[in-house]
């Protein structure tokens, strides 16, 4: 039985006396005792006040530190107890292993490297010489350090592309920001969402970017780069010098390569023709400012009708794609005994599509 005693305090009343003065007088004390009904179970409970206690449950927490960091498998089970062999029980041990070399290109000399599958990760390119470096995927940032005499083609970059201590390089890139430092003799085909910045850089030529590969538009969208907006012509020189110009703008399309072909007829021994082509290739490798990008042999019977050049009496064409200054390339190719001829400029676009189609047929 619960009992609650309530004391009514002394109530002070005010009354007037005959002379008009106020006088306080206490009222009688009132003591009220309330008794609750008996608690009957089961049955109706009639209580004036119900006190609800806070209920809590005890959870048996793990006390060992290694148990708190264990990771359950896909079935929700923790790894078994240690049986003498090391197990991947912690979260940092179950992270996917990443091959860092996949995102780094370094110490390449006289070679061509094509990198795909970067998938938005940062890239590092360093200490490369006389090489073609091609990254055909989107990236987050790219740093190019200490490269010389290289052709560098970079896909869509969502962040900054930083060129440092590079000289005599040709760079094609679409990026959010471009910065150069301690560079000289650069040819840059650029599509940039912000103002390019050069620092301690000389003899830099900026061209509009004409770049396309199979996933270029998708990579631009994934990198949040606008295809229609570019500030490539608004270059800021962070270290200007009075009386000297460190860069210039060009509205011409940056020419990267030229196509030369040599026709083979059955009147000439096959071995003799191959040896002459090899001599031309060796001469290109020995020339410092000219690079051999690719070679291909085309069957005239399959592709001859699509090529706008005379092919009388020829069974196959050997095509050299050569990159370099136009005068140097012409001088080198015309001096050979293999009879290489240059594809006219107005036919190069059609010729490029024929070569691309031939490569796809070979892959399939």
Query: Residues 166-200: pLDDT tens digits?
Result: 998 999 999 999 999 999 989 899 999 999 999 99
The band of 127, judged by pLDDT with boundaries at 50, 70 and 90, is very high
Overall average pLDDT of the 23-41 stretch: 45
Average pLDDT over residues 40-68: 47
Q: How far apart are CA 326 and CA 293, in angstroms?
A: 15
Q: How many residues does the chain have?
A: 364
Tell me the backbone φ, ψ of residue 274, rounded to 5 degrees: -65, -40
Beta strands 22-26 and 12-16 are: antiparallel
Segment 324-341 shows an average pLDDT of 80
Return the C-alpha torsion angle 270, 271, 275, 278, nearest 10: 70
State residue 272's pLDDT score.
87
Whole-prediction pTM value? 0.53
pLDDT (mean) for 47-56: 44
Average pLDDT of the chain is: 76
Return the pLDDT at 273.
86
Whether a cis peptide bond, with omega within 30° of 0, leads into 28 is no
Can you give the residue ranges of every domain in the chain?
Answer: 104-249, 256-363
Which residue did the predictor score with more confidence, 16 or 113?
Answer: 113
pLDDT the model gives residue 32: 43
> Does 33 have pLDDT greater than 50?
no
CATH number at 104-249: 2.160.20.70
Q: Which of 214, 179, 200, 235 is nearest to 356 (CA)?
A: 214
Model confidence band, residue 148 (pLDDT cutoffs 50, 70, 90) = very high
* Per-residue pLDDT, 289: 72
Find, among 273, 287, 275, the residue nearest to 332 by Cα.
Answer: 287
Is the model more confident about 120 or about 324? 120
What is the per-residue pLDDT for 307? 62
Per-residue tokens: 245: 């110009």
**Hey, what's the torsion of the CAs at 187, 158, 200, 104, to 10 degrees?**
-80
pLDDT above 60 for 311? yes
User: Is 243 a residue whose pLDDT tops 80?
Assistant: yes
CATH class of 256-363: alpha beta
CB under 8 Å, gap of 24 or more: what pairs does 283-289 form?
Answer: 283/332, 283/335, 283/336, 284/320, 284/322, 284/332, 285/110, 287/324, 287/328, 287/332, 288/130, 288/149, 289/149, 289/324, 289/325, 289/328
CA distances from 201 to 129, 166, 321, 344 (A): 19, 9, 30, 35
Segment 276-304 mean pLDDT: 81
Residue 64 has pLDDT above 60, yes or no: no
């Amino acid at each position: 039985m619960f009992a609650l005693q309530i004391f009514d305090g002394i109530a002070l009343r005010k009354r007037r006396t005959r002379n008009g003065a106020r006088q306080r007088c206490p009222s009688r004390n009132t003591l009220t005792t309330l008794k609750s009904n008996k608690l009957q179970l089961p049955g109706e409970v009639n209580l004036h006040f119900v006190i609800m206690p806070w209920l809590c449950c005890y959870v048996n927490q793990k006390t060992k530190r290694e148990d708190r960091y264990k990771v359950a498998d896909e079935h929700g089970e923790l790894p078994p107890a240690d049986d003498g062999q090391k197990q991947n029980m912690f979260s940092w041990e179950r992270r996917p292993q990443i091959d860092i070399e996949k995102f780094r290109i370094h110490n390449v000399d006289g070679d061509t490297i094509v990198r795909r599958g970067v998938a938005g990760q940062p890239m590092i390119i360093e200490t490369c010489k006389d090489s073609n470096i091609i990254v055909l995927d989107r990236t987050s940032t790219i740093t190019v350090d200490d490269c010389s005499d290289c052709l560098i083609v970079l896909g869509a970059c969502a962040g900054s592309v930083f060129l440092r201590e590079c000289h005599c390089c040709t760079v094609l890139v679409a990026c959010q920001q471009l910065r150069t430092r301690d560079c000289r003799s650069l040819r840059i085909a650029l599509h940039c969402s912000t103002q390019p910045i050069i620092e301690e850089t000389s003899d830099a030529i900026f061209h509009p970017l004409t770049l396309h590969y199979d996933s270029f538009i998708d990579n631009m969208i994934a990198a949040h780069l606008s295809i229609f907006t570019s500030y490539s012509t608004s270059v800021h020189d962070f270290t200007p010098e009075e009386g000297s110009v460190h860069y210039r703008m060009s509205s011409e399309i940056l020419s990267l390569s030229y196509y030369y072909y040599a026709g083979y007829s059955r009147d000439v021994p096959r071995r003799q023709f191959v040896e002459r082509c090899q001599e031309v290739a060796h001469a290109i490798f020995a020339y410092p400012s000219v690079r051999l990008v690719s070679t291909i042999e085309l069957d005239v019977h399959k592709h001859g009708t699509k090529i706008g050049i005379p092919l009388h009496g020829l069974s196959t064409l050997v095509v050299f794609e050569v990159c370099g200054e136009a005068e140097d390339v012409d001088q080198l190719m015309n001096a050979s005994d293999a009879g290489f001829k240059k594809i006219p400029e107005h036919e190069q676009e059609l010729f490029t599509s024929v070569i691309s189609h031939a490569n796809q047929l070979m892959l399939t």
